[in-house]
Structure 1
Amino acid sequence: MIKEQPQLSPTGAIQKPSQMADGTWFEYPIKVQPHHTDYSGNVWHGSYITWMEEARVECLRSIGVEFADLVALGCDLPVVELSVRYHRALRMGMTAIVKARMTDIDGVRLNWDNQIQSVDGEELYVTARVTLVAVDREKGKIMRQLPPAVKDALARLSV
């Protein structure tokens, strides 16, 4: 008897990303370096995930939330869910824009959409949906609520 592989149901982020409150994405430019690629010169799949994390961290920094400050508050934001669709490969030497936006906050869960596209916006390379959850670093447990300063800052990003 042949078992079917479980299929990932498409998410709204992969099919049609939503808009931030002001309709914009945080944009983070990247250039593909040799260490981002596999032996064929195509970007290794994990590099895209690294770039998306860098874009989220920089987006937070742009609104005054430094990741180091979160750590100092005893809060960490690990990824608990990730859904990625690879549309087209980037290659060594290419440049692209990594776009990130937080779509909503559900308690201590932060949902983010990402796109990686060409600088001119004509080519779409990756779409993704990432869910983070606030964890108390000292206790190693999910927090009951976000620290007030973090919640107030994040409210400016959510739709």
Structure 2
Amino acid sequence: MFISEKLVEVRYVETDAMGVVYHANYLVWFEIGRTQLIKDLGFNYAEMESQGVISPVIDLNVSYKKSLRYGQTAIVKTKVKSLTPLKVIYEYEILNEEGDICCIGNSTHVVVHKETFRPIKFKKVFPDWYEAYEKAMGQD
């Protein structure tokens, strides 16, 4: 199974009045991790969009385990958890520099036409990308 990693320096603007990372910023880091995974596999989400296709989130799960603070570095680990011709589930772990899990979660995405939001088959429209995801999951 392929796991992408991306380091994110915690910026002051990402913290709340308690000095810890504001909970919604983990979702931004999920997106950073997902984008890095796609890039690591040789693809580009912007290219998908230029072809009139988008991949919106239809479900999101987040569990917070330990606080991150300004000045620390978050390690965002991302993998493809599940794949069907119509949807992808990404799984995330965000750790601190000591390797402690700070946040875990997953997001479910469908592939749709940008103009109509009608679902399309990811496997049919982007077969190389779909195959790369299968291999990343160890399903080759």
**Matching residue within 97, 109, 114 for 1:119:** 97
* Aligned-residue CA RMSD (Å): 1.5
Q: Superposed, which structure 2 residues align to 1:43-122 within 5 Å? A: 43-121=21-99
CA distance in 2, matches of 1:135, 1:87: 33
Task: Confirm whether residue 143 of structure 1 aligns to residue 120 of structure 2.
Answer: yes
The structure with the largest alpha-carbon Rg is 1
Unaligned runs of 5+ in 2: none
Determine the C-alpha separation between the residues in 1 that align with 2:106 and 2:24. Answer: 15
Measure the CA separation in 2 of the matches of 1:67 and 1:144. Answer: 16
Whether the 8 Å CA contact 1:103–1:157 is kept in 2: the answer is: no
Aligned letter for 1:133? V
CA distance in 2, matches of 1:38, 1:141: 38
- Matched to 1:150, the amino acid is W
- Any stretches of 5+ residues in structure 1 without a counterpart? 1-19
Name the amino acid aligned to 1:109: K
Counterpart residue identity of residue 106, structure 2: R
Contact 1:102 1:158 in 2 (8 A): yes
SS in 2 for 1:116: strand
- Secondary structure of 1:99's counterpart equals strand
How far has the Cα of 1:135 moved from its partner?
1.1
Deviation at 1:29, TM superposition (A): 0.5
Number of residue pairs matched by the alignment: 136
Question: Deviation above 3 Å: which 4+ runs of structure 1?
Answer: none
Shift of 1:74: 1.8
Please give the TM-score of this superposition, normalised by the length of structure 2: 0.89
Contact in 1 for aligned 2:79/2:91 (Cα 8 Å): yes
2:43 maps to 1:32: no
TM-score (norm 1): 0.79
After superposition, give the CA deviation of every residue in 1:39-75 in whole Å (9 maximum; x if it has no partner): 2211011111101111101110111110111112222
Partner of 1:11: none
